[in-house]
Amino acid sequence: MYGFTLILTLAVVGGAIAYIGDRLGMNVGRKKLTLFGLRPKHTSILVTIVTGVLIATASIAVLSIASQDVRTALFNMKEIQEELRGLQKDYAEMKGQRDAANEELQEAELKLAQAESSYVAITAELELAQQSVEALNQERAFLEAEVAELAVTAEQLSWLYDLVETAFGQIRAADIAFNASEVILTTVIEPGLSREEVRAALENFLLEVDDVAYRRSARAGDSDPYRAIYLPPGVIDLVVEDVLLARGTVIVRAVSEANSIPGVPVRVYLENYMDQMVFSKGTVLASSTWDPKGGVEIDLVILQILNQANNAALNAGVALSPERRGAVLLPGGYFFDAIEASREIEQPVEIRLVVAEDSWRSTSPVLLNLEMVF
């Protein structure tokens, strides 16, 4: 409303001045008045110019009177321009600061996002760690329980160990009559015998076994008919049937079931094997390398592999000779020849025990040759 009033005032003042000037110009022209010695035409032009100047001056004066902003614009323009340039400069600086602040804000937001991501990851790791701690605590409790159980078991085992050690000491202090799985005696039953003949042969064989055990200090007390062995009931009946079903030569041997000491019965079980060839001529039953610089005499090495050969023959089911305690035989000449030859040997040599001829289970003992391979 204030601007409309100002414009209306300017229009009225300008119109009034224009009207007055026009009237003056017409009077000057009609009366042909002159000013400053000018011609009437020029005087009229001068009046028009003055009228325009008055209109402009009146307009400015009215605007200046009516508006503080107009007065400021007219009389303080330079200061306003300088202030404007300062404001523009400040604006540019503030804009730069704003842009920098925006960049810093973006960096801060990025760091915040990274921090939030790290926080989430750390929180997840913390949860996993807490779960691991809980699992470890449970495992620790479980292990502690196991340790407690193991401690109790250890005490029990310690007690059992002491008991076994005491028993073993007692066994070691005593003589061993028979070792576990030791073949006591062997017999060969030919085919074609009747059931009664087979039973009689087995009963006589067991009496021989009992006699061997008795001579080695085993005792069975008042048991009948054996003085030194114990055979579970019904074993003979089973072996009789096996022999009859075999329809061929059968090797039956009595074996010690466990270690036994003098004064107690030997628990015996029977094994039976069909007679067949078990070793062909040239089969190496046992071998070992003897080094003359090793500090071990050659005779000990020969005895060691001779024991291995004997075990191999027994495991194959070879009958145990009643006259000998072994299933193999190495003539004494090989033994002494090897001892004599060892005096001139300067490098390691392999000693072999080789089957001298085809051997069957019923062939006892298995004859061996001794070979030395350089």
- The alpha carbon of 232 is separated from its chain's Cα centroid by a whole number of angstroms, namely 53
Work out the percent of the chain whose per-residue pLDDT is above 70: 78
> What is the distance between the alpha carbons of residues 256 and 90, in angstroms, rounded to a whole number?
116
State the burial class of residue 183 (Cβ atoms within 10 Å of its Cβ: 0-12, 13-18, 19+): buried
Phi/psi of residue 202, nearest 5 degrees: -65, -40
pLDDT at 115 over 90: no
pLDDT tens across 156-210, in order? 656 554 544 544 444 454 568 888 888 888 899 999 899 999 999 999 999 999 9
Q: How much is the pLDDT for 152?
A: 76
Q: Is 237 helix (H, G, I), strand (E, B) or coil?
A: helix
Give the model confidence (pLDDT) of 29-45 as tens digits. Answer: 666 656 666 666 676 67
Q: Give Dmax (Cα) for the chain.
A: 191
368 Cβ partners below 8 Å, 6+ apart? 285, 306, 309, 328, 329, 330, 334, 353, 354, 355, 356
pLDDT at site 164:
45
Whole-angstrom distance, CA of residue 353 vs CA of residue 330: 8
pLDDT band with cut points at 50, 70 and 90 for residue 352: very high
The DSSP call for residue 286 is E
- Lowest-pLDDT range of 72-76, 78-82, 246-250: 72-76
Say how far apart CA 190 and CA 188 lie, in whole Å.
6
Query: Whole-model pTM?
Result: 0.48
Burial 308-347 (b: 16+ CB within 10 A, else e): bbbebbbebbbbbbeeeebbbbbeeebbeebeeebeeeee
* Residue 284 in this model has a pLDDT that exceeds 90: yes
Whether residue 307 is predicted with pLDDT greater than 70 in this model: the reply is: yes
